[in-house]
Structure 1
Amino acid sequence: MKLPSISCPHECFEAILSLDTGYRAPVTLVRKGCWTGPPAGQTQSNPDALPPDYSVVRGCTTDKCNAHLMTHDALPNLSQAPDPPTLSGAECYACIGVHQDECAIGRSRRVQCHQDQTACFQGNGRMT
């Protein structure tokens, strides 16, 4: 995958947010570009959060240095499939959208929860 290149007056960055939305159904957002923040970023992972999440923000100071997070292999697997699959019996709707109506029931997909996941999560957030 070839990404467009832009000129940055200071540093570059890459940020990833990944949420586990159910059995084998993560949602991952990626943002790359210019920034003026510190050249070292934080990695956070909370498998006990509802939903489980992972985020990383990484700044860097050399040309095209924000190409480390290019594939899903760079992310932890938040929704590991147990072997054999152990479904909890709960089903939830999962979606991601820019506008609230993009997550209406008719536009969302149903996912099966597994292991100790017995409740659905409804919420919203913002990645800026």
Structure 2
Amino acid sequence: MTEEKQTKRFEPKVPVQLDPPKDDPISQEELAKCDGSDPSRPTLVAIKGVVFDVTRNSAYGQSGQYRVFAGKDPSRALACSSLKPEDCVPEWYDLADKEKTTLNEWFTFFSKRYNIVGKVEGAKNN
């Protein structure tokens, strides 16, 4: 598949207007508080240390099917197509190339739909 086709494959069906990406540092503690349980906070998901604001997608909220990812960097779970809480960890560097490709595809998918609001402080895998 050509790179152009690969990129188009992840385009949202409805165009999304995104803000310029931010690289504000976000602590693990702050990220954990943004798990969708507090309506006064955004719902955040990090991938490879990059933090996305997924607040407007109820799938990441308290009763959503992807709530297990909220407030975490679930890079390993995304790479392995897992919804298990124990897989929702940022370590992915030891995975096979196939899983790394899957993780990169998820990163592309998120980056076309959600604002990047910062980076996890001390993230080693980005």
**TM range, smaller chain:** under 0.3
TM value normalised by structure 2? 0.22
Greater percentage in helix: 2
> Which structure's relative contact order is higher, taking Cα pairs within 8 Å and 6+ residues apart?
2
Task: Decide which structure has the larger Cα Rg and report it.
Answer: 1
TM value normalised by structure 1? 0.22
Greater percentage in strand: 1
